[in-house]
Structure 1
Amino acid sequence: MLQWKEFEAWVCIEGEETVEYDVQTSEDDRTVTCWIASELGKKFSIHWKNKAFLQDVGGSVKVDGNPCGGTISYAWRDLGRTISKSGIADAATLKSFVFSSLEVTDDDDALISSSSSALQDLGLLELTIYPVRINGELESTVFSRLNLSDLKVHERSKKAVTQQIKLAEPQPLEKAPRVLDIERTGPEVVKFCFKYRPIDVLRANGIAPSPSRLKRKASAEPPRALTPDDLEELADLEEAKNLREKLRALEKKLHKRDKKPRIKDEDGDVIDLTQNGARNKRVKVESDRPFISGEVIDLT
């Protein structure tokens, strides 16, 4: 999960949150960038959350450089609530985003300059968040303007990019989404960028750890057998332990023998209550507080 002050953003593939690799944050550009592992043929969605920014904000989504509309988070209702974008909708259906193979060709007429925006943005998911004001609702026909470009890349231009985003077959919606007329009221708060590649590509470039690094290494050396010297040392330690226990028991016994209950008589003499003669002498007990029924006075 990427984080920027009051905002969080993440990508889910088939409902499972992806792992972000090599997260980079630019304070100057207000941009958080990472890599994620794409999975061919699987649908994905982009999620975000406004935790504490006290204004209405919009989240615009681009995939491979294609604008795909966005979503609104209302300050009065949606703080802490997850907002998501999973595809392009019209009034009745939703076409989900899906990772697909990049179409390549050897036709020189399709050769695209490596500096072109179409190639630069390939393999990139963007979520831009900015403050907005809602002016009203629009006709649903605006949905028809949104689509993904049918991009074909020359083999010599694709570099390490082997996938692109396409749209899955349309699925019916239970309720038609609202189309809002919004106006930006300030500069973007943050831009979250997810650069996607297959996991093998990320591992080959040192971005994601290899499977061998994730496994716990087993010890290569078997446990060493005990030598006669080891056994003799263990025996000495055991004997020393037994001697210490016997010494503690003897000290405890001597201490108990010396501890005899004594009390002063009326004349100030000390009486040993363990002696037979003490039984016939009167004992005067001074107390600072009244006797309470059920309380025991310990004469020792």
Structure 2
Amino acid sequence: MLKHRGFSAWVMSNGKALPEYLVAVDEEAHRVSCWIPGKEGQTFTVYWQDHGGKVDSCAFIALDGLVVPGRFLFGDGVASRGGIRASHLTERPFTFQKVPNDTMDSPTRRAGKDAGMITLKIKRIRRLDARPANPIQVIPSVLGKRKVGDLCIGFGEEIRAESQHPSTWEVLPYEEDVTIPGASKPSTYVSFVFRYRSPEFLEAQGIAVGEEIPKPRPATRATRQAVRRVASLPPHIHQESASSAERPAKRPRLSSSTQAFPTGVRRPSAENRRIASWAATASEPTITSLGESQFFLPVTKPYFGAPLTNITLDADSSVTSESPDLSGSSQGFQ
């Protein structure tokens, strides 16, 4: 659908609007143009709409240069024209056709700059008194000078149509559109040009380009969206997640017990602690007689005091990181 200056226009065929390609707007000439596909034997209808301009208008349709009367609009609404008047009760529909082989190429018939074009011209007017209706036009067989086999506009067989109204209106230009003082003919307020060609021609020239199929989104983007949705959980779910993510309670450290040893104990050296810890990893000893399940702590130099006392592991006691002072003195280890 072409739109400009409060009006729009389009061409329909078989109940569908024909696609429009390479739409161009000429602001100075108030003209909008495009390309449309036409198929041989296909009928078409030209539509236009006034989008509430509140000014009377009339339209004319030029088919390959042949002007066909249009319709009046009274400041709003939609109008259409799909055929040329053949009699007071019939008309011949607009069609696309090929120039027949028996067409004589007469030098007197001008080619016409409007060949291959459907042009709709809309003029804003002031209606005056009524006058008699336009006379019935003589319809030519071929519009303009065309080559044999070219696509052109023709007219189908006569069909029944609404009876022609016996009168129409005299018109004058709308005051705001007068460019030449004293002009009696309305100027064109806006025009729409549909250049028609066969679909094969439009495709070959690169004019009819199909719509691009959108590419699928990368999988990584969907993954990131999923992460955001998880992060947007309701507050109460956040609280549950936070509570479940808390660190587990630490295992209580083994406390040193000195009840199995006499008071006034002294911490052994690091080397002795490792030996005592290693001995504790063995299976629990079974005390059967004196001297079994015994071990001696190493000394770093000769000891000249009282003889070392053997330490026997009691079955109910646990080995800790501390060992007693074997001599009961604060100078057992240096």
Aligned position for 2:126: 133
Q: 1:120 to 1:104 in 2, by over 3 A?
A: farther
Q: Deviations over 1:89-147 (max 9, x none)?
A: 2311121101111235696x63589xx5x34211100000111233344444x331353
Q: Following the alignment from structure 1 to structure 2, what is the Cα–Cα distance between the partners of residues 146 and 179?
A: 20
Could you tell me whether the CA contact under 8 Å between 1:129 and 1:188 is conserved in 2?
Answer: yes
Q: 1:55 to 1:251 in 2, by over 3 A?
A: same
Matched residue SS, 2:121: strand
Could you tell me whether the CA contact under 8 Å between 1:112 and 1:153 is conserved in 2?
Answer: no
Q: 1:30 to 1:148 in 2, by over 3 A?
A: farther
TM-score, length of structure 1 as denominator length? 0.62
Could you tell me whether the CA contact under 8 Å between 1:41 and 1:100 is conserved in 2?
Answer: yes
Q: Normalized per residue, which structure has more helix?
A: 1
> What amino acid is aligned across from residue 97 of structure 2 in structure 1?
S
Could you tell me whether the CA contact under 8 Å between 1:91 and 1:143 is conserved in 2?
Answer: no
Alignment of 1:144 with 2:117, yes or no, is no
Could you tell me whether the CA contact under 8 Å between 1:104 and 1:153 is conserved in 2?
Answer: no
Q: Deviations over 1:142-166 (max 9, x none)?
A: 33135345347464xx7xx821111
Aligned position for 1:165: 153
Aligned position for 2:181: none
Q: Following the alignment from structure 1 to structure 2, what is the Cα–Cα distance between the partners of residues 70 and 176?
A: 13
Q: Following the alignment from structure 1 to structure 2, what is the Cα–Cα distance between the partners of residues 49 and 106?
A: 37
Q: Following the alignment from structure 2 to structure 1, what is the Cα–Cα distance between the partners of residues 137 and 209?
A: 41
Q: Following the alignment from structure 1 to structure 2, what is the Cα–Cα distance between the partners of residues 106 and 139?
A: 36
Alignment of 1:121 with 2:109, yes or no, is no
Aligned position for 2:94: 97
> What amino acid is aligned across from residue 81 of structure 2 in structure 1?
K
> What amino acid is aligned across from residue 27 of structure 1 in structure 2?
E
Consecutive unaligned residues in structure 2, runs of 5 or more:
174-185, 217-239, 250-334
Matched residue SS, 2:33: strand
RMSD of aligned C-alpha atoms? 3.2
Query: Percent of counterpart pairs with the same letter?
Result: 25
Aligned position for 1:202: 202
Q: 1:25 to 1:122 in 2, by over 3 A?
A: same
Q: Following the alignment from structure 1 to structure 2, what is the Cα–Cα distance between the partners of residues 101 and 252?
A: 85
Match of 1:183 among 148, 171, 176: 171
Q: Following the alignment from structure 1 to structure 2, what is the Cα–Cα distance between the partners of residues 110 and 35?
A: 29
Aligned position for 1:23: 23
Aligned position for 1:86: 82
Could you tell me whether the CA contact under 8 Å between 2:92 and 2:156 is conserved in 1?
Answer: yes
Q: Following the alignment from structure 1 to structure 2, what is the Cα–Cα distance between the partners of residues 92 and 50?
A: 28
Based on CA coordinates, which of the two structures has the bigger radius of gyration? 2
Q: Following the alignment from structure 2 to structure 1, what is the Cα–Cα distance between the partners of residues 163 and 146?
A: 41
**Structure-to-structure mapping, 1:28-43, within 5 angstroms:** 28-43=28-43
TM-score, length of structure 2 as denominator length? 0.56
> What amino acid is aligned across from residue 176 of structure 1 in structure 2?
Q
**Structure-to-structure mapping, 1:134-283, within 5 angstroms:** 134-140=127-133, 142-145=134-137, 147-148=139-140, 150-151=142-143, 153=145, 155=147, 162-177=150-165, 179-185=167-173, 186-209=186-209, 249-251=244-246
Q: Following the alignment from structure 1 to structure 2, what is the Cα–Cα distance between the partners of residues 101 and 128?
A: 26
Q: Deviations over 1:51-104 (max 9, x none)?
A: 0222101111110000111111012xxx1x211011112311121101111235
Could you tell me whether the CA contact under 8 Å between 1:68 and 1:147 is conserved in 2?
Answer: no
Could you tell me whether the CA contact under 8 Å between 1:103 and 1:152 is conserved in 2?
Answer: no
Q: Normalized per residue, which structure has more strand?
A: 1
Could you tell me whether the CA contact under 8 Å between 1:103 and 1:153 is conserved in 2?
Answer: no
Return 13-22 or 176-185, whichever deviates more. 176-185
Aligned structure 1 segments of 4 or more residues deviating by more than 4 angstroms:
104-107, 151-155, 213-218, 245-248
How many aligned residue pairs are there?
Answer: 214
